[in-house]
Amino acid sequence: MDFIGYSHGNLIYSHKKKCHLFDAFTGSRTKSPRLVIDKRDHPIFGALTAPLASPDSSLLIQAGCFLYEWKVGSETWLQQYQVDPHSRIIQVVSFKGELVALDSYGHLMRIRLEPKFRMQRVDVRWEHQLLWGRWLVVCDDMLLFFGYWKHTFNTVRLDLSSSVSRWVKVESLDNMAVFVAAAAGSQAFACKKPEKQLRLLVRYQ
C-alpha cells in the first residue's frame, strides 16, 4: 500500500487503484471502489472533504493530471477536474464553508463540489519574503500558512478584508498551539489552550 494522505482522523492509502481509509483511533477501514484511470497513473494524494460520519463526506484523489471525487458509500468515482500535470495537490482544508487546496508550488485554490464542480486559483499577495513550507491549518476564523525563511520558522494568515487577498505575518497565536511534522504528507493541526489539552491527553493515556 502507498500512503497518500491523512485527513479528518483517517490515514489514506492506495492499493491496486483502490483507496483504503483507516481510522487512526479505532483501526476501522473504509474501502473505495476501483478507480478507472490510465494504467500509467496512480493516486498521489488523498483528502476527505468532511468527517466520514458526515453525509457530505467525499474523498478527493489526484491521479495523474486529474482530480476524482468519491462520495463516501457510493459505488462509482466521478472525474472532476484536470489539473496542472507538473504540480500536485498536497493539502485540502475546510475554511469558512469552502474547500481550500494547496499545491506543491504554494498556490491556493478554491474547490466547490456543488452544484457543479469548480476549482479556481486564489491570487494572494505576499507582504514579505516567500516561505518554504507545506502546512495549512485553520485556527478558529483564520487560515494560516507555516513555513521557513532563512532557518526561521514563520507564520502568515490569509487576509480577505480588502479587494486584494494577502498573506500577513502573524506575530502571536495567543492561546492557540499548532503542531506540524516534517514528514511528507503530514498535516498540521491546531488546538486552543494546549496546556489543558495536554493534561487531558495524559489523563486519557
Amino acid sitting at position 195? E
Provide CATH code, domain 1-122. 2.130.10.10
Question: In whole angstroms, what is the distance from residue 152 CA to residue 162 CA?
Answer: 28
pLDDT at 172: 75
Helices and strands (DSSP H and E) totals, the chain: 1, 19
DSSP summary character for residue 165: E
What's the gap between Cα 62 and its chain centre? 12
pLDDT at 19: 93
pLDDT digit string, tens, across residues 127-166: 666 566 678 888 778 888 877 666 777 778 888 877 778 8
**What does the pLDDT average to over 14-18?**
89
Residue ranges matching CATH 2.130.10.10 in the chain: 1-122
pLDDT digit string, tens, across residues 99-128: 888 887 778 888 888 777 888 888 887 766
Question: In whole angstroms, what is the distance from residue 43 CA to residue 23 CA?
Answer: 19
Question: In whole angstroms, what is the distance from residue 30 CA to residue 66 CA?
Answer: 22
Q: How many C-beta neighbours within 10 Å does residue 79 have?
A: 14
User: What residues contact 83, with CB distance under 8 A and at least 6 apart?
Assistant: 62, 65, 66, 67, 89, 103, 119
